[in-house]
Amino acid sequence: MLRGLVIALAVVVGVVAYVATSGGDDEQAAPAEQGEAAARIVSEEELADVASTSETPVYWAGEMDGAEIELTEEADSVLVRYLEEDDEVGAARAQRIAIGSYALPNPRKALNAFAETPGATMTEAAGVGKVVISPGARKNVYFVDPDNEVQVEVYAPDAKQAIGLVRSGKVQPVG
């Protein structure tokens, strides 16, 4: 069971890390594959509506000056990215803050297993408890919501910014 959770987590982490860190400013996003979730720009109100109908908590980092909210929903995950004016919706770019909420069978158990990965760093943050910094992508940090419903991933262009967002308490459920 634990092995399955670790494999599932590794796949999720790999996909999110790839999406968050691949591409360049000149690269165009590939068209969505059939069945693949489409990203879209939403208002704060639309994001709140999505969160209110979601079976699991949806996390974000609040309103950010000059940023549009991009939302991507999949079966068991929601990704909120903060795009700048010239960014294309759905384009993979490394320099944008992103908050992922992933419904896993036992998020805390998965996070604990991830914390044991060679090179992973664990720290604590007020309000969220254990925070794990990815060994392969130091700009990605993870924690579990207090009710053990979702694992939250915070990506930022700078590793200090990612952990700073978590420690600041800005990363919260929508609503």
Task: Please give the pLDDT value at position 2.
Answer: 32
Tens digits of per-residue pLDDT, 65-115?
A: 999 999 999 989 999 999 998 888 988 765 899 999 999 999 999 999 999
Report the range out of 13-17, 30-34, 137-141 with the highest average pLDDT: 137-141
Tens digits of per-residue pLDDT, 28-78?
A: 223 333 345 799 999 999 999 999 999 889 999 999 999 999 999 998 999
From residue 173, alpha-carbon distances to 9, 19, 61 in Å are 21, 22, 9
Which residues partner with 129 through β-bridges?
A: 125
Which residues partner with 143 through β-bridges?
A: 152
Asked whether the beta carbons of 113 and 2 are under 8 A apart, the reply is yes
Greater pLDDT, 37 or 137 = 137
Among the ranges given (8-12, 82-86, 124-128, 171-175), the one the predictor scored with the smallest mean pLDDT: 8-12
Read off the pTM: 0.78
Task: Please give the pLDDT value at position 36.
Answer: 58
**CA pair distance 170, 39, nearest whole angstrom:** 23
HSE toward the beta carbon, residue 123, CA cutoff 13 A: 13
Residue 175: pLDDT band by 50, 70, 90 thresholds?
Answer: confident
Which residues partner with 154 through β-bridges?
A: 99, 141
**CA pair distance 134, 64, nearest whole angstrom:** 25
CA 53 to chain centre: 19
**CA pair distance 162, 132, nearest whole angstrom:** 11
